[in-house]
Amino acid sequence: MREAGSARCEPANVLVTGGAGFIGVNFIRYLLGRNDFDGRVINYDALTYAGNPASLADIEREWGGTRYFFVRGDVADREAVDRVLGEHAIDTIVHFAAESHVDRSIVGPEAFVRTNVTGTFTLLEAARAAWQAGGGFREGVRFHHISTDEVYGSLGETGYFTEETPYDPRSPYSASKAASDHLVMAYWHTYGLPVTLSNCSNNYGPYHFPEKLIPLMILNMLEGLELPVYGDGRNVRDWLYVEDHAAAVWDIVRGGWPGQKYNVGGGNEWENLRLVERLAEIVAERTGMSAEAIRAKITFVRDRPGHDRRYAIDCSKIGRELGWRPSVTFEEGLARTVDWYLGNGDWVREVRSGEYRRWIERNYGTREQ
């Protein structure tokens, strides 16, 4: 029987790996915007193609050097990880850093194994060494690992993924995440390292790199380009607004039971084709364009290998144990997302043109880690 309150953790110095990526950026913004958190956030990111510290430029101006610190580093570099854990007295690791695009994993799987598997192993070993106290680990430390629902494989027309669903990854990406999940849980069972793990559904929202479905479609619609949809467009995904995901992660970090995993979903199952059609309607409403003309640009392209048919998340456990529920409806979230891309043309232009890479080179050098 679990003792009430024994899961509580109050982080002071939080290392966010991959904090310059889409979900990491939104998590850092969420955390530093909370009135009940007065700690420090250390953003540790290698600044690969999808990492953009300019997405946190306002955070840097307000909190840089006091409550927010950026450290460029590779999660697979043990010396660098040891250094950041020690110099910043890290008590909590929130591990977002990952190669995450399925299509890229099919073309070049090696980077996914290095970052997602070796990188996670390196972080676990560094945390194990840094947090040891006596025969165990000191109080108040936590390692939270963010994973994906893709590790579970593909669902039929009915049913949901639960925390007990067997793993059945179908792509190099999901296989690398499954391997990292198993490592994290092994460190709990073998060493007692206080870990938690979450498997989330597809995220969407501001600052999303435009290779992913929703931002790609929005931007192509605005530019009158083709809207490529895999296969017959009937693949189903569950969509989670990124700020709701940030809230769920923070709830798990502070109140999740060590050694437990939690599914996090939005409860929004949509076929890809229906989603693109709805985005066309929202973009048309916002811009005065013709929804019919936008939809006419939908083009069905050859399906990708191993394309899972349906994902759907049962997230009743996190609701039951931690009281978390998604707060943003899909309609509201899609509208917010379209509005954000319409209102942040400079960010979009810099990302799509590569200008943000030149900004990184000017400020951080050309080193790729």
Q: Are 82 and 47 in contact (CB under 8 A)?
A: no
Q: How many CA atoms lie within 13 A of 64 on its CB side?
A: 10
**β-strands 136-137, 132-133 pairing:** antiparallel
CA triple 173-176-178, angle to 5 deg: 110
Out of 45, 74, 91, 150, pick the active-site residue. 150
Q: Which of 74, 149, 181, 238 is catalytic?
A: 149
Known catalytic membership, residue 355: no
Q: Which of 173, 207, 262, 356 is labelled catalytic?
A: 173
Helix (H/G/I), strand (E/B), else coil: 279: helix
Cβ atoms of residues 250 and 198 within 8 Å? no
Q: Is 150 a catalytic residue?
A: yes
- Given a contact cutoff of 8 angstroms between Cβ atoms, the answer to whether 297 and 220 are in contact is yes
Cα 235 from Cα 339, distance rounded (Å):
26
**CA neighbours closer than 13 Å in the CB half-sphere of residue 85:** 25
| Cα 221–Cα 225–Cα 226 angle in degrees, nearest 5 | 100
Instruction: Answer yes or no: 173 catalytic.
Output: yes
Cα 296 from Cα 79, distance rounded (Å): 53
What DSSP string runs through 160-193? -B-TTPPP---SHHHHHHHHHHHHHHHHHHHH--
* Catalytic residue positions, numbered: 149-150, 173
